[in-house]
Amino acid sequence: KTFSGIDIEARFEHARDVIREAGKRAMEYYEGDAADLAIETKTNALDMVSIADKNVEAIIRDRIGDAFPEDGFLGEEMGIEKGDNDCLWVIDPIDGTACFVNQMPTWCISVALMIGKEAVIGLIYHPCNGELFSAVIGDGARVNGEPVKASDAKLVSDGVMGIGMSHRLPSSSIVPVIGQLLDEEGMFIRNGSCALMMAYASAGRLIGYYEPHINPWDCMAGIVLMREAGGWCNDFLDLPNVLEDGGPILAAGPNVAKHLADMIGLSYRG
């Protein structure tokens, strides 16, 4: 299978092996001595990075780069490195670092492939649960190889909504949305990992996921998964400078998507 003349089948199969290997390495850190994690803070006390984040990203870049030397990379901890073709691997080595360093199992590894402006492969691996969420454009979404579908909830009160938040935006960017969701007898959950919650939305466990500002490495694999699961995502990929600046993400089951987009104030195109 190819996309724009690029072999995405070979890339998918290789990346699937690499993400499992990266997960094994991350688990060794997670189960090891916390003192060895060398945790540093970035912009604030809750925005941190450990040696595990850096080494896991290095493993993924090295192993994919060995097999596909012409491809480029964008990762949370190591930045952007353009390739010689249109491929860009978008990597979050550990999504949910605050959970990871505090011994909570809701962290995952997220790897996506973009070709030009299109996201074509999404892989999210949750090592603590042994679940690999995967999708290739046009081929549907899977959990450990089994096909999954986004939620068919009709009302926000039919299921649980994932919500994320960081200190990159003020609290006023999320509080009204939570208020309205609760007023409609909906409920929200935040497990500390945007990618994992988007993976759950692709498997229909959550009715959707919203975060007012997210970076591309957090949501790129989730976007592929969600679309391939029959869900809807806002036009994140069309936002200006999205790879540098990020933007809002809304992913939702097809029947609640318009209502959620209206509630939040994002444009909806069916």
Helix axes 257-264, 175-183, angle to 10 degrees: 130
Token pair for residue 200? 């759950």
- Contact between 77 and ligand IPD by CB under 6 A: the answer reads no
Q: Name 145's Cβ contacts closer than 8 Å, sequence gap at least 6.
A: none
Phi, psi of 170 (to 5 degrees): -70, 160
Which residue has 């290997």 as its token pair? Answer: 21
Q: How many CA atoms lie within 13 A of 6 on its CB side?
A: 21
Burial of 175: CB neighbours in 10 Å, binned 0-12, 13-18, 19+: exposed
How many of the chain's residues bind ligand IPD (CB under 6 A)? 15
- Report the partner that residue 187 touches, choosing among Ca ion, ligand IPD, none (CB closer than 5 to 8 A by kind): none
**184, 176 contact by CB (below 8 A):** no
Query: CB of 187: closest distance to ligand IPD in angstroms?
Result: 18
Taking the least distance from each CB to Ca ion, the nearer of 19 and 257 is 19
Among 150, 194, 198, 257, binds ligand IPD (CB under 6 A): 194
Q: Which position among 75, 96, 208, 216 is part of the footprint of ligand IPD (CB under 6 A)?
A: 96
C-beta of 131 vs 139, nearer to Ca ion: 131
Q: Smallest distance, Å, CB 95 to Ca ion?
A: 4
Of 94 and 136, nearer to ligand IPD (C-beta) is: 94
CA angle 105, 260, 246 (to 5 degrees): 60
Measured from the CB atom, the residue of 50 and 134 that comes closer to Ca ion is 50
Among 71, 77, 92, 228, binds ligand IPD (CB under 6 A): 92
One-character DSSP codes across 51-85? HHHHHHHHHHHHHHHHH-TT-EEEETTTEEE--SS
What is the Cα–Cα distance from 82 to 86, expressed in whole angstroms? 9
77 binds, among ligand IPD, Ca ion, none (CB under 5 to 8 A by kind): none
Only segment of 67-75, 190-198, 227-235, 260-268 that touches ligand IPD (CB under 6 A) = 190-198
Q: Is 164 in the site for ligand IPD (CB under 6 A)?
A: yes
Nearest distance from residue 173's CB to ligand IPD, in Å? 12
By rule CB under 6 A, what string of x and - marks binding of each residue 216-255 to ligand IPD?
--x-------------------------------------
Binding of ligand IPD by 57 (CB under 6 A)? no
Residue with tokens 């850096």: 54
Summarize as ranges the residues that interact with ligand IPD (CB under 6 A). Answer: 76, 92, 95-98, 164-166, 192-194, 211, 214, 218
